[in-house]
Amino acid sequence: MKSIVVYGGILAATITSMLSRIGGISGKYRVVHVSADVSNGATPTDLASCAIFFRQDPYVCAFEDSLPSECLRLAFPTLDARHLWPFHCANPYNRPEPPRFPAGRFPYGNSFIVSCLKQGIDPAIIVDRYISAPWGPSWPDLEACERSENARLEAMDARVDIPMLSYIRENIHHRRLFWAPASPTNALLSELIVRMLDRAFAPAKLVSRKVLEELMHLQGAWDLFGAISVPIHPHVAQRFGLQWYDTSEPFRYFDEFIGYREYYDRMVSENGPKPVPSKKDRPTFVVYGNCQADAVAVILRGNAAISKLYDVRYVKSFGAERGRIDPDAVTKCAIFLEQHDREPFEQRERLPRSCTIIRFPSIDCNVLWPFNASNPYDGPEERYPFGRFPYGDRVIIAQIDSGRSADEILEYYLTAWDDYKMDLDRFLKIEMARFEARDAKCDVTMGSYLYERFIHERPLWTANHPTLPFLKELLRRILVAAADRADERLGSIDIDRTIASNFVLSPRGPLGVVSVPIHPKVAEHFQFAWYDPHERYQLFDGNSYDYKEYFEQLIAHSLAKKVVPVP
Amino acid sequence: MKEETLDKIRTCVIATFHLPPETPITRATTSADVDGWDSLSHAMLIMKVEQEFALELPFDRVYDLANVGELADLVQATLGAGAQST
Measured N-to-C along each axis, helices A10-19 and A186-201 cross at an angle, to the nearest 10 degrees, of 70
pLDDT at B83 over 60: no
Residues whose CB falls within 8 Å of the CB of residue A163, separated by 6 or more in sequence, listed in order: A77, A157
| Cβ-defined contact of B63 to A438 (cutoff 8 Å) | yes
pLDDT value of position A566: 54
**For chain A, what percent of residues have pLDDT higher than 90?**
47
Q: Are A335 and A286 in contact (CB under 8 A)?
A: yes
Q: How would you label A157-170 residue by residue, b for 16+ Cβ within 10 Å and e otherwise? A: beebbbbbbeebee
Q: Where are the alpha helices (DSSP H) in A441-546?
A: 447-453, 468-485, 495-502, 520-526
A388-405 burial string, b = 16+ CB within 10 Å, else e? Answer: bbbbbbbbbbbbbeeebe
Task: Assign A70 a pLDDT band (cuts: 50, 70, 90).
Answer: very high
Q: What is the pLDDT of residue A210?
A: 76
Q: Which residue has the higher pLDDT, A265 or A121?
A: A265
- A431 in reach of chain B (CB within 8 A): yes
Distance from CA of A13 to the nearest CA of B (A): 58
Residue B31 at interface with chain A, using a CB cutoff of 8 Å: yes
Q: Is-contact A123 A272, C-beta < 8 A?
A: yes
pLDDT of res. A276: 52
Which chain A positions have a beta carbon within 8 Å of B50's beta carbon? 426
Please tell me the least confidently modeled range out of A220-234, A364-378, A383-397, A509-523: A220-234
Alpha-carbon distance of A255 to A95, in angstroms, equals 18
Query: Which residues in chain A are contacts of B42 at CB distance < 8 A?
Result: 434
Alpha-carbon distance of A349 to A92, in angstroms, equals 40
Q: Does B40 touch chain A (CB under 8 A)?
A: yes
Mean pLDDT of A136-156: 88
Weakest mean pLDDT among A210-219, A444-453, A557-566, B52-61? A210-219
In which band, very low, low, confident or very high, does the pLDDT at A222 lie, cut at 50, 70 and 90?
low
- Indicate yes or no: CB of A373 within 8 angstroms of CB of B59: no
Cα–chain-centroid distance for residue A239?
Answer: 41
Question: pLDDT averaged over chain A?
Answer: 87
Q: Where are the beta strands (DSSP E) in A125-197?
A: 178-180, 183-184
Q: What is the pLDDT of residue A447?
A: 94
Name the pLDDT band for B86 (thresholds 50, 70, 90). Answer: very low
Average pLDDT over residues B38-44: 85
pLDDT at A481: 95
Average pLDDT over residues B74-80: 92
How far is the C-alpha of A196 from the C-alpha of A96, rounded, in Å?
A: 34
Query: Residue A225 CB: number of other CB atoms within 10 A?
Result: 21
Position A135 scores a pLDDT of: 82
Nearest CA in chain B to A437: B63
Per-residue pLDDT tens digits for A100-115: 777 888 888 898 888 8
Residue B19 at interface with chain A, using a CB cutoff of 8 Å: no
Distances A196 to A6, A154, A374, A514 between C-alpha atoms, Å: 11, 18, 70, 55
Measured distance CA(A7)–CA(A67) in Å, rounded: 13
pLDDT digits (tens, 9 = 90+) for A279-332: 667 899 999 999 999 999 988 988 888 988 999 999 999 888 888 998 899 999
Which conformational region is residue A162 in: left (phi greater than 0), alpha (psi within -120 to 50 degrees), or beta?
beta
Is A423 part of the contact surface with chain B (CB cutoff 8 Å)?
yes
Residue A133 pLDDT more than 90? no
pLDDT for residue A376 is more than 90: no
Q: Are A287 and A312 in contact (CB under 8 A)?
A: yes
ipTM: 0.82
B14 touches chain A (CB under 8 A): no
* The pLDDT of residue A23: 78
CA A304 to the chain's CA centroid: 9
Flag the least confident range among A189-193, A204-208, A468-472: A204-208
With CA atoms as reference, the chain B residue closest to A424 would be B47
Asked whether A111 and A132 are in contact (CB, 8 A), the reply is: no
Query: Taking residues B42-61, what's their average pLDDT?
Result: 91
How many angstroms separate the CA atoms of A242 and A174, rounded? Answer: 6
Answer yes or no: is pLDDT of A128 > 90.
Answer: no
Q: Which of A270-279, A446-455, A465-474, B61-70 has the lowest mean pLDDT?
A: A270-279
Instruction: Give the CA distances from residue A141 to residues A83, A147, A249, in Å, rounded to whole numbers and listed in that order.
Output: 10, 10, 26
